[in-house]
Structures are given as structure tokens and as C-alpha cells.
Structure 1
Amino acid sequence: MNTNLIAFFIGLFGSVHCIGMCGPLAFAVPSFHSRWWLVVADKITYNLGRVITYSFLGLLIGLLGRQLWLAGLQQGVSIISGVLIIAAGLSRLLKIKFSQSGFISKMLAPVNRLLTYALKHKAGHLAIGLLNGFLPCGFVYLALVGAVNTSSPFASAQYMFWFGMGTFPLMLIATVSSGFIGPAVRRSINRGMPYVMVCLGLWFLVRGLGLNIPYLSPAKQSSGVTICH
């Protein structure tokens, strides 16, 4: 399966989770227009800001992935990524909770301060969308794991772009209609997400094993470069 298509579906299914986590922030950004199409334009701009940030993060993670690719470590990274994603999915299925690091909170403090400042001074939907993309999100991290397994910074940025576009439809409808998906529906879909994560992790794991299965698990040449089919 095309990796960008996988990224799109991760974003599409994960956007239900995003509505619950990031939705309140999106709803807090006021639109001062009376015409409905201008309100929709504001919300499109907000979501485009998120997509731009995701693509930028993909470019950064792609620079790391490119070095791993050239060093012949890409398939090992794919295996490790698969194991981590499976572990994350199983932890949700088994309801295992991990304590959050204070270090992460300190790292995110500047982003939170910028968001507060932007909201207070009515910086606009694009600026808040750009900042929103830097907030911690398990599904963004999941997408970045997939992005680091691409072969170039451009491919990684493209992967994250399609992930962002996957989140676009539901987030746009939710921000325009102030949350059309009820809590019961979100809970039902969120219960299914760990299974999706386990399946995705298995795909990364099999892909890294180099079983010479076209599209699913490409073979690996002695030079360390993966054969693309």
C-alpha cells in the first residue's frame, strides 16, 4: 500500500481523537465574520496552518531518516518503529498508563505561552493553526514514526502533509459546526484505534524484515539500499 495513503488514513481515523483533544482550542478561536463562507474560510485557514506545521515537522524528521537510509539502518528503524507502535497499541488495549515526563512539559511551555499570547491578541486562525501543530499528540507522533521510515526529507514532508490532509475533513466540519461528533461516537472509534495501531506496527515490522514481498516487505540489497517496487 502507498505510504502516503496510509498517512492519510492515520490522519482520517485519528482526527476523531483530535476533535476531543484539540477541538476545544479550535473552538476557542473566534471568527468575527457574519457571513458563513468567511467563517468557513477562517476555519480552513486554521487547519491549513496545522498541515503546514506537520509538513515542516516531517521535513525535519526526514533529515534524520535520510541519514539512517544512507547508513543502511532504515530497515532496522522500521522494525524498531513497528515494535514501539505495537507496544503503544497494546498498552491502550490493556489500559496501561505511563507517567508523563516533566521534561516534556518544560519543552512545550514556550509553545503554550505563544498560543496564549496569540489568542489574547487575536493573532488569527493561520498563526494559531501553525502553533497548534506543535502541541503534543499521540497520533502526530505515530505519523512521525512513519515519516522517519521514508527515503528522503521531501518524502517525509509529503507523508506528514497527507497525514494532515487526513485530519482536515472532520476537523473542518467540527470547527465549523462546533463539534458534530458526540462523545459516544468518539469513544467508539477511539476503542478501535489501538487495533489499527497494532496492525500498522505489524506492517512496519514486516516491512523492515526485508522478505522480498512486493509493496509489503521490499528486499534489501547488500549495499543497504531498499529496492523500491
Structure 2
Amino acid sequence: MTIALLVTALLMGFFGSPHCLGMCGGLVTAFGLSMKDVSPAKRRALVATYHLGRLTSYALLGLIAGLIGITVLKPLMMGNSTPRILLGLVLVFVGVTMLGAPFLTKLERFGMRFWQYLSPLRQKVFPLNTFPRALTAGLLWGFLPCGLVYGALLIAVVAHNPLSGAALMFVFGLGTIPMLVATHETVGWLRDKIGRFRLRQLNGAVMVISGLAVAVVPMVMANMHSGHGEMNHGSHAAMMSDMDSHDMSQMNHDMDMTTDMGHNMQDMDNHMDHSMHDMSDESMDMSHNEHTEMMEHAQ
């Protein structure tokens, strides 16, 4: 898991928080009314406590999502580019969802059934005047059905391990805190700025582009590298062929020169043998003449 993925989860939580406020606004209001009789200092501590419970639930869900991913998807992720492609497709899907596509609305409806099932337990945590109650309320709050949370969980599923999934979901929850703890005036200002500059849509577009880059760019680069390697191999083969032809020509030339030298050496040997034979014949003639002269002189 990279830092870029953590930043993506953080920005996803922050720019999607107006949606979270719409879903969780009533719950936050109910929590606030149940703490009206506590001191301001304790109120702030209780608010921090139930947000800690909510982030703990997100981290637990991310851990489970990571476990599902590593057990179900692991056979498909051995020695290939499937994890990268799957992560890119999930980022594209979540980005399109942030742009407004209602892909996760049915999943929200399914989650609402589970939320209604928890209703008796939710009633027992009120009023939120103690830290155990605030923590329990936060833990339950983490299971509130939300399409944005489900989108973050999809990213956690394709994370490399359960701890990465838990970290992603925890950071995602951190991104939602500013909107949920702000005062009424600050909430209005944040919602106005995010809506005016379409920051949620901008973040969704960035996620779509990032997902396409993660899934597609490495494959394009690999194909380009493969083509370049084949070209280099062809050029190398042609060069070796040229070198082989040149070497063969040079070898033939050297062999011709060696043959010529052999012939020249043979001619020189024959010439020397012939000269030595002529000199031997002349010497024998001279010796015969001198012997004849000596015999005649003796008589």
C-alpha cells in the first residue's frame, strides 16, 4: 500500500463528507441533544470518544474487507498484474460513484435493514453522558449504511493485506471528521465551498483518471518496452550477420593469402633444390677434369 492510496482515502472522506452529513446529520443532532446536561469540556471529550468508536468500526470493516480480498482474490493475484488492474478498476468505479452515478444505492438499502436490526441496541446508549456509552454509540454508528463507506471498502478489499485495509478505512474516517464536528456556521461554509467548486466531483474525476492510469499505463509501457526489445534484437541480429559476413570474407582472404604464400614457399624450395643439383653436377665435372689432368701428368 502506498502513501498515494492513503491520501486518496483521506480526500475521498473529506470531499464526500457533505453526503455523510446528509446521512448522519440526524444522528449527530441526536447525540448532541443527549449531551446537553454535561459540561462543555466533557462534551468535547464525549464527541471525540464516539468518533473514535466510529473510526474503530471503519478499521474493523476494513480489516474484514482485507481478509476477504486476500483469501478470495489471492489465487488470482499470484505472479501477474491482476492486483494493479483490479485496484485501477475499483478507483474508477468509486470515482464514477462520487461523480453521481447511483451504483451503490441498492447496497445502501440492504445495509439499512441491518441498521434497523440494531435499533434496540442503539436506544440503550442514550443519553450519551458516559464514555462507555459514547464509545458504544460510535461503534454502532460505523455500521450506518453509506454508499461512500462501501466505496472505500471496495478499495480496502483490493488492498494487499488486512492491515492495509484497516488503515485505509481509518484514514477515510479521519477525512469525514471536519464536517461532522464543525459548528452550524462552519458546516454551512464547508458545504458551500465544496458545492461551489464541485470539489467532490473534481475528486471523483481525479480518482477515475488515477484508476485508469494505474490499470492501463503500465500495460502500455510494457508493450512499448516489448516492441523496443524486439527492435533491438533484430538490429543486433542484423549487426551480427554483417559482422559474420565480414569475418567470413576476411577469413577467406586470409586463407587465399596463406595458400599463395605456401605456393611461393614451394617454388622457392624447388628453385633451391634445382640450384643445389646444378652446383653438385658442376663440382663433379670439375673433379673429373682435375683427376684426368693429374693422370696425364704422371705418365
User: Taking structure 2 as the reference length, what is the TM-score of the superposition?
Assistant: 0.59
Q: Which residue of 2 aligns with 1:51?
A: 55
In the aligned structure 1, how far is the partner of 2:63 from the partner of 2:104?
29
Cα deviation 1:129-163 (Å, max 9, x = unaligned)? 11111011122122112222210000110111111
Establish whether residue 64 from structure 1 lines up as the match of residue 36 from structure 2. no
- Runs of 4+ in structure 1 deviating by more than 4 angstroms, as ranges, are 96-104, 120-123
SS across alignment from 2:16? helix
Alpha-carbon shift at residue 97 of structure 1 (Å): 8.9
CA contact (8 A) 1:111 1:134 kept: no
Amino acid at match of 1:186: R
Q: Distance in 1 between matches of 2:65 and 2:218?
A: 26
Per the TM alignment, residue 171 of structure 1 is displaced from its structure 2 partner at its CA by 1.9
- Which residue pairs with 1:186 in the alignment? 191
C-alpha distance in 2, partners of 1:185/1:45?
23
8 Å Cα contact 1:75-1:210 kept in structure 2: no
Q: Which has the higher helix share?
A: 2
**Equivalent residue, structure 1, for 2:159:** 150
* 2:76 alignment partner AA: A
Q: 1:42 aligns with which of 39, 42, 46?
A: 46
- The 1:187–1:136 alpha-carbon spacing in structure 2 relative to 1, beyond 3 Å, is farther
Q: Please list the CA deviations of residues 91-124 of structure 1 after superposition, one character each: whole Å capped at 9, or x if unmatched.
A: 45xxx79874764443332134432343379772
1:160 aligned partner: 169
Secondary structure at 2:126 match in 1: helix
Shift of 1:205: 3.0
Q: Which has the higher contact order (CA 8 A, sep 6+)?
A: 1
Q: Which residue of 2 aligns with 1:209?
A: 216
Question: 2:95 touches 2:203 (CA, 8 Å); kept in 1?
Answer: no
Q: Partner residue of 1:17?
A: 19
Distance 1:150 1:97 in 2: 21
Equivalent residue for 2:116? 109
* Larger CA Rg, structure 1 vs 2: 2
Could you tell me the TM-score, scaled by structure 1's length? 0.75
Unaligned runs of 5+ in 1: 219-229
Structure 2 letter corresponding to 1:42: L
